[in-house]
Amino acid sequence: MKTQIVRIMDCAEVLPGFSTQGALRDEPSGTHQVVMGKHLTQGEPYNYKEEDRLRISPDRDISKYVLEPGDILYMSRGITTYPVLIESVPEPTAAPSTFFILKPRPNVVPAYLAWCLEQPLVESHLTGLRTGAGTPTIPRKGFMEITIPLADIATQHRIADLWHLQKRESQLRRQLLDESTRFHRLAGQSIFNELISK
């Protein structure tokens, strides 16, 4: 299949997250986990961690906002907007209205779609859609109309594999930097303490 230029809405169902009234608080017996922006790291796929626990008991049906591995969350509000591929979440997990929920169609590899959304030309088009002075927002209708190249499935898989390797490299570099910074602080503290004890 030749590469086609298609709209995002042709590649995935694009849903808004659920609306909330005020701040969400963890409920010990809550039925649904909620993914918030603070749980995500830009440029990294999301895997649930116990410290991300934020359970709620919705007062209405939010089943259409429930996430599955392979879905993509797109942070649609704020100065920085970006996609995050969902790799693992407890069942059921939902996302609030700060996100668009993308559910890729069968002919679309999720990591390939996330890769497309991170490309500078697509980011530039999306930035141009932002409205609002206080908290800029990308309108869902405009978002769905943005076009991207849809390659054949084999090419999508190759690009997705490369994308996963790049993300893993970035993650390892960040961990190395964190450990290096921690070591430097401990070494400096040790030398400083030694100097003041003389």
Residue-wise pLDDT tens for the chain (198 aa)? Answer: 688 999 999 999 999 988 877 778 888 888 899 999 899 988 889 999 999 999 988 888 888 889 999 999 999 888 888 999 999 999 899 998 889 999 999 999 999 999 999 999 999 998 888 887 778 889 999 999 999 999 999 999 999 999 888 888 887 888 888 888 888 888 888 887 888 886
Which pLDDT value is given to residue 1? 62
Which pLDDT value is given to residue 164? 83
Give the chain's domains with CATH numbers. Answer: 4-196 (3.90.220.20)
Which pLDDT value is given to residue 25? 85
| 3-state DSSP of the chain | CCCEEEEHHHHEEEEECECCCCCCCCCCCCCEEECCHHHCCCCCCEECCHHHCCEECCCCCCHHHECCCCCEEEECECCCCCEEEEEECCCCEECECCEEEEEECCCCCHHHHHHHHHCHHHHHHHHHHCECCCCCECCHHHHHHCEEEECCHHHHHHHHHHHHHHHHHHHHHHHHHHHHHHHHHHHHHHHHHHHHCC
